[in-house]
Structure 1
Amino acid sequence: MKALCWEGTNKLRVERVPDPEIRNSGDVIVKVRASAACGSDLHLLGGYIPAMEAGDVLGHEFLGEIVEVGPGVRNRKVGDRVVVCSFVGCGNCWYCTHDLWSLCDNTNTNSGITQALWGSDVGACFGYSHALGGLAGSHAEYIRVPFADHGSFPVPDGLDDDLAAVFASDAGPTGWMGADLGGVGPGDVVAVWGAGAVGQVAARASVLLGAERVIVIDRIPERLRQAREHMGVETLDYTKTDVGAELRELTGGRGPDVCIEAVGMEAHSPGPEYAYDQIKQQLRLQSDRPTALREAIQACRKGGSVFCLGVFGGVVDKFPLGALMNKGLVFRGAQQHGQRYIPELLDRIARGDLPTRHFATHPMTLDEGPEGYEMFKHKRDGCVRPVFQF
């Protein structure tokens, strides 16, 4: 079958790879219908995530049709059109039974890498390096899905548009989790750093959870426009204003109640801190650029909540721990616990409560994958997300 493979830093190629096979009784084989490129895939492309190997198949946000089921599968059948959660959970360990699915104890077969990096192993993620299990990704004609009874979800009959439904796989539950676990409630003022798909969903989730005011911060005009037009929130262009001062002005001097960082390890800034972080990252003196996260912590009101949705891989410099402690902030972060949220989000997308179709600005074929990622990385042609259709 054809697949889009990582061949080294900033090198992608469409190749022929072996078809997947059932390996365990709980597996299914899915014929991929749509697979979206995600902002966190750019960290792989740029060489910032360890344990990638030439020939690894990328992709973790996808939708497709089940074409084969293992003998232990009970709740899925051939012909089901399903969205698959990007993180794999076994459904039986302590973490899965406590709805902390991305922290599954049993799905990452290379757990020693993350134990060395972070002190504990986390669950496996499709197409996201051998540090997170080494599973083949979804930018391919077919994919093996382990523990399918727990990680695949039938798409409602009324939701015919694959380009809307596919974002329930990763961007939807990631963004929703940020608002939910960040503690957004009625009357809150929420600030979201990053107006990509994840940031926009976090903003829309905040509205639906009762926030009085939601402000999204970015610099890309098409993303800011989408946030205003589709999600119904306010926006700030951080290249044209002092974000901290603007947020204080909008909140009577306090700062937002909840700050959600949806950017991650390659954050941009117009200030000198960007050059500082960029140089240290390129010299491997730090692994991540935390510009947006620093700003979120500084901007949050005393006693407020900061949630880190953006992907970070290792260590950062100049982390404002003093602000976090002395301001009495609640700080949380997580990879998405999609199994907790996906069924509800599919229903919300079907009802029109949660717009997602507009994220897919560039539907294309898999053969156009390298070009699509190049466009996505450099934000050309108004590209918010390329989605590969089969």
Structure 2
Amino acid sequence: MRALTYQGPYRVQVEQKPDPRIEHPQDVVLKVTRAAICGSDLHLLHGLVPDTRVGCTFGHEFTGVVEEVGKEVAQLKKGDRVVVPFNISCGTCFYCQRGLTGNCENSNPGSDVASGVYGYSHTTGGFDGGQAEYVRVPFADVGPMKIPDDMDDESVLFLSDILPTGYQAAEMGEIKGGETVVVFGAGPVGLFAMKSAWLMGAGRVVAVDHVPYRLEFARKFANVETVNFKEVGDIVLHLKEMFEGRGPDVCIDAVGMEAEGSRAHRVLGLGLKLEAGAPTVIEWCINTVRKGGNVSIIGVYGPPWNFVPIGTAMNKGLTLRMNQANTRRYMPHLLEHIQKGRIDAKGIITHRFPLEQAPDAYHLFAQKRDGCVKCVLMPHGHA
């Protein structure tokens, strides 16, 4: 099959790889119909994630058609159309039983951090991702969700990751009605966090970014106020003043470590293979939010080091919540929001490419050119 492969920092190419096969009776093999490029894929592209091996295939946001079925799979059959959560979860372990599928202990054994994840280095299990013609899906009765016959793949594609991730970000902020919310980052996850905040009853939502076209997109797509942090003197003081000098009730970090990495991160990350990131946005959240407020962190960081003003958080009486998104638990609920027109999930797609042009798509997305918000790959053309 044809698949995107990692060739080292800043280099990916499409080449021939062996077709995936059934390796366990609970596996299926999918023919991939759509695969998106995620902001966190840029961390891989830029060499910032440890144990990203040459030849591996990225991609943890995808839909597909079931091609082969393991003998123990009961819920799926050949020909079913499915959307697949980015977390690989067994459904039976301590964490899965509690709905914490992003923390499954069987799909990435030996790790005390994340579950298995498609196409996200050997630190998350070494599973090949979906930016390919075909992909192997383990625990097929647990993760994949069938796509309704009257819906196209792109309408539900983002149930795989960024829509549940944005929704969980808002939920962790404990938005119940009337709260004021600041979302740092107007990328795809931030956009869905903004939409979700409104769905939960937020009274006011402000987006913070520095890329003008992303802020304009946020105004139109999510109906929010916007602040360009490069156009104000002190972003923390500016935001506090927008909220009566106290700050907002909720701050959401939808940025994480900068996709390019800070200068120190590039030196340490590339030199020592330590994934962590500049905690700039965490600092902004802690310093901006009102006393007794909530900080929700959904942006990707990594161990082992981050310099966070935890003393300020303690003295302000803040609640900090964070996790990988527990994608599967939100998928049915968010599907209903899409079906009822409350969220136009595919409305964030700005670019579509055949699989062969995936390297160009990566660089366009990474460099924030041509108004790119979200890229989708089509491994089998428009079918």
> Which of the five TM-score ranges fits, normalised by the shorter chain?
over 0.9
**Is 2:340 the partner of 1:340?**
no
Shift of the alpha carbon at 1:384? 1.2
- Measure, in 2, the Cα distance between the counterparts of 1:79 and 1:234: 44
**Is 2:372 the partner of 1:383?**
yes
**Is 2:123 the partner of 1:134?**
no
Shift of the alpha carbon at 1:282? 6.1
Cross-structure match for 1:208? 199
Shift of the alpha carbon at 1:163? 2.6
**Alpha carbons 2:22, 2:70 under 8 Å: kept:** yes
**Alpha carbons 1:104, 1:123 under 8 Å: kept:** yes
Shift of the alpha carbon at 1:230? 1.5
**Alpha carbons 1:231, 1:355 under 8 Å: kept:** no
**Alpha carbons 2:298, 2:323 under 8 Å: kept:** yes
Report the TM-score, using the length of structure 2 for normalisation. Answer: 0.94
Q: Which amino acid aligns with 1:248?
A: K
**Alpha carbons 2:51, 2:122 under 8 Å: kept:** yes
Residues paired across the two proteins, number: 377
Cross-structure match for 1:34? 34
**Correspondence 1:89-108 to 2 at 5 A:** 89-108=89-108
Change in CA separation of 1:357 and 1:249 when aligned onto 2, cut-off 3 Å: same
- Measure, in 2, the Cα distance between the counterparts of 1:255 and 1:183: 16
Structure 1 outlier segments of 4+, above 4 Å: 274-286
Larger deviation, residues 282-291 vs 45-54? 282-291
Render the CA deviation track for 1:228-269: whole Å, top value 9, x for unaligned: 111122111111123222322222121111111011111689
Larger deviation, residues 355-364 vs 368-377? 355-364
From 178, 181, 187, the equivalent of 1:196 is 187
**Alpha carbons 2:48, 2:266 under 8 Å: kept:** no
Identity %, equivalent residues:
43
From 295, 299, 304, the equivalent of 1:306 is 295
Report the TM-score, using the length of structure 1 for normalisation. Answer: 0.92
**Alpha carbons 1:188, 1:211 under 8 Å: kept:** yes
- Measure, in 2, the Cα distance between the counterparts of 1:211 and 1:121: 31
Cross-structure match for 1:361? 350
Shift of the alpha carbon at 1:80? 1.4
**Once superposed, what is the RMSD of the aligned Cα atoms?**
1.8
**Alpha carbons 2:48, 2:270 under 8 Å: kept:** no
**Is 2:171 the partner of 1:171?**
no
- Measure, in 2, the Cα distance between the counterparts of 1:156 and 1:226: 29
Cross-structure match for 1:117? none
Q: Which amino acid aligns with 1:331?
A: L
- Measure, in 2, the Cα distance between the counterparts of 1:217 and 1:338: 25
**Is 2:177 the partner of 1:186?**
yes
Cross-structure match for 1:261? 253
SS at match of 1:48: coil
**Is 2:293 the partner of 1:293?**
no
- Measure, in 1, the Cα distance between the counterparts of 2:275 and 2:145: 38
- Measure, in 2, the Cα distance between the counterparts of 1:362 and 1:159: 20
**Correspondence 1:15-26 to 2 at 5 A:** 15-26=15-26
- Measure, in 2, the Cα distance between the counterparts of 1:40 and 1:317: 18
- Measure, in 1, the Cα distance between the counterparts of 2:76 and 2:215: 39
Q: Which amino acid aligns with 2:118?
A: F
From 202, 215, 219, the equivalent of 2:210 is 219
- Unmatched 5+ stretches in structure 2: none
Render the CA deviation track for 1:68-120: whole Å, top value 9, x for unaligned: 211111112221111100001100011001000010010114x2xx4xxxxx2
Cross-structure match for 2:52? 52
- Measure, in 2, the Cα distance between the counterparts of 1:278 and 1:88: 29
**Is 2:151 the partner of 1:159?**
yes
Shift of the alpha carbon at 1:287? 3.7
**Is 2:88 the partner of 1:88?**
yes
From 226, 235, 238, the equivalent of 1:243 is 235
Q: Which amino acid aligns with 2:84?
A: V
Q: Which amino acid aligns with 1:122?
A: A
SS at match of 2:334: helix
Q: Which amino acid aligns with 1:102?
A: G
